[in-house]
């Protein structure tokens, strides 16, 4: 079981902003799956709550990946409120799962680690 967080590398977010968005993504993914598939979340928690952070080049790549994944695995796009570094509504990352490793890997195995 794993959760993968896909971050846009083109935004050049500061380290704090990046950490905040990865945190937002992790919690959003957790809540979405817990609501619909609580047993999946329980298994992920028992296995240590594995999280992997990878990157894509930009917004288009992020949304293309989202469109492919959303049909099979719970996933969510995270958008910024626009209070500091980037405009409101900017998509910063995508959270996939937590979900079964092999199903997540179908979509994310070729992405580079952040």
DSSP string, the chain: -EEEEEEEGGG---HHHHHHHHHHHHHHHHHHHHHH-HHHHHHHHHTT--EEEEEESSHHHHHHHHHHHTTTS-EEEEE---SSSS-TT-EEEEEEEEE-HHHHHHHHTTSEE-
Answer whether residue 65 shows pLDDT above 90: yes
Is this model's pTM higher than 0.85 or not?
A: yes
CATH of the domain at 17: 3.40.1490.10
**Domain with 10 in it:** 2-113
| pLDDT tens-digit series, residues 78-95 | 998 877 778 889 999 999
| pLDDT tens-digit series, residues 31-58 | 999 999 999 999 999 999 999 999 999 9
Domain count across the chain: 1
Please compute the mean of the pLDDT values over residues 95-103 and round it to a whole number.
Answer: 98
């Amino acid at each position: 079981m794993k959760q993968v967080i896909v971050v846009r590398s083109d935004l050049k977010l500061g380290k704090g902003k990046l950490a905040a968005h990865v945190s937002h993504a992790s919690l959003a993914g957790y809540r979405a799956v817990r609501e619909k598939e609580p047993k999946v979340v329980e298994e992920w928690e028992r296995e240590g709550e594995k999280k992997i952070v990878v990157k894509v080049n930009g917004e288009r790549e992020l949304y293309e990946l989202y469109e492919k994944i959303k049909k099979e695995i719970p996933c969510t796009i995270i958008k910024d409120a626009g209070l500091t570094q980037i405009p409101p509504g900017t998509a910063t990352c995508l959270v996939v799962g937590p979900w079964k490793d092999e199903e997540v890997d179908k979509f994310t195995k070729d992405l580079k680690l952040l």
